[in-house]
């Protein structure tokens, strides 16, 4: 895609936030790979997001929203179009409903860590399972993030979206179709925020559970290397990591991309890995696991670009 000066100028008129051209994705993805992105845009707020997305649709410029760049692999050829970062949408507030319940309102760019910290300070239960998850609110809702016995769908009260027509609406929990690691929304719908229903509880108990989960993550996950989180979804009643380890794949390496020696469902960047090496390793894992167990692993990471 050719991004000429006219398009650059029109985008700058609509965007007070950062606007980057030909930006290497490797500077942003949590696993540290990816070629150049034609346009990387940072709307300042929901209104600016609406204007920028409207312009991209009007000009038929392909685009995707991105959050915290975790669970995302951009191929080495880069991305032809615009990646629209929601990182500046970080409003966060609490509203007491008067019945021992509290509504936590968060925009899509808020890191989950901020929600967990706020919950702990205010002695609010329900968010503990998110401790240590590196993503942001938008991505967590979109993929129905979960860990240690909890899922986002259990605490979501409503989700605020920007639809394909440019309209903003709030969808109540009862209207949303959550599934394992997925929220079924039309492809062009962008999550711009969510309301979570939490409840008051013993502060020490909440803090203790958060510390416990963080400690387990440090023990089990290869946090010493850049990674994209869990590579595959867990098949029903069978962790993907166990299937990968039983196939003898722990430590398997292609270039600087390696199946973690600590947790089979992580691929780590040992230093200078490319997206091609990571994708090749994903193919090897899927083939070997299928041959060994008959399970066809489904990727949890999103792969974009060319």
Q: 128, 230, 277, 286: which one is catalytic? A: 230
In terms of Cα–Cα distance, which of 31, 9, 4 is closest to 19? 9
Q: 14, 50, 142, 181: which one is catalytic? A: 181
| Residue 119 among the catalytic residues | no
Residues belonging to the chain: 306
Q: How many CB atoms are closer than 10 A to CB 246?
A: 15
CA distance 63 to 81: 6
CA distance 30 to 25: 10
In terms of Cα–Cα distance, which of 22, 16, 26 is closest to 37? 22
CA distances 264 to 16, 213, 257, 258, 289, Å, are 43, 19, 13, 10, 11
| Residue 181 among the catalytic residues | yes
| Residue 230 among the catalytic residues | yes
CA distance 205 to 19: 44
CA distance 128 to 116: 6
CA distance 258 to 253: 4
Location of structure tokens 């346009």: 39
CB contact at 8 A, 266 and 260: yes
Active site residues: 181, 230, 300
């Amino acid at each position: 895609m050719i991004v000429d000066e006219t398009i650059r100028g029109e985008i700058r008129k609509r965007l007070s936030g950062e606007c980057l051209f030909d930006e290497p994705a490797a500077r942003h993805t949590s696993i540290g790979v990816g070629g150049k992105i034609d346009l990387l845009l940072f709307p300042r707020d929901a209104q600016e997001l609406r204007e920028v997305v409207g312009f991209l649709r009007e000009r038929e410029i392909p685009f995707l929203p991105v959050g915290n760049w975790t669970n995302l692999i951009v191929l080495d050829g880069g991305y032809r179009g615009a990646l629209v970062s929601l990182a500046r949408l970080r409003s966060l507030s609490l509203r007491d409903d008067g019945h021992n319940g509290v509504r936590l309102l968060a925009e899509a760019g808020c890191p989950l860590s901020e929600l967990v910290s706020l919950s702990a300070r205010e002695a609010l239960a329900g968010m503990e399972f998110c401790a240590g998850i590196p993503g942001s609110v938008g991505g967590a809702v979109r993929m129905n993030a979960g860990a240690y016995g909890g899922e986002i769908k259990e605490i979501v009260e409503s989700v605020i979206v920007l639809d394909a027509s440019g309209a903003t609406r709030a969808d109540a929990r009862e209207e949303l179709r959550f599934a394992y690691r997925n929220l079924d929304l039309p492809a062009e719908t962008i999550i711009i925020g969510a309301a979570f229903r939490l409840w008051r509880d013993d502060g020490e108990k909440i803090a203790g559970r958060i510390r416990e989960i963080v400690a387990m993550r440090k023990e089990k996950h290869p946090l010493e290397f850049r990674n994209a989180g869990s590579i595959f979804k867990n098949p029903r009643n069978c962790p993907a990591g166990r299937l990968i380890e039983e196939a003898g794949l722990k430590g398997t390496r292609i270039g600087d991309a390696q199946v973690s020696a600590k947790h089979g469902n992580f691929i780590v960047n040992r230093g200078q890995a490319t997206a091609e090496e990571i994708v090749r390793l994903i193919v090897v894992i899927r083939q070997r696991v299928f041959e060994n167990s008959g399970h066809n692993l489904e990727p949890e990471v999103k792969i974009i670009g060319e």
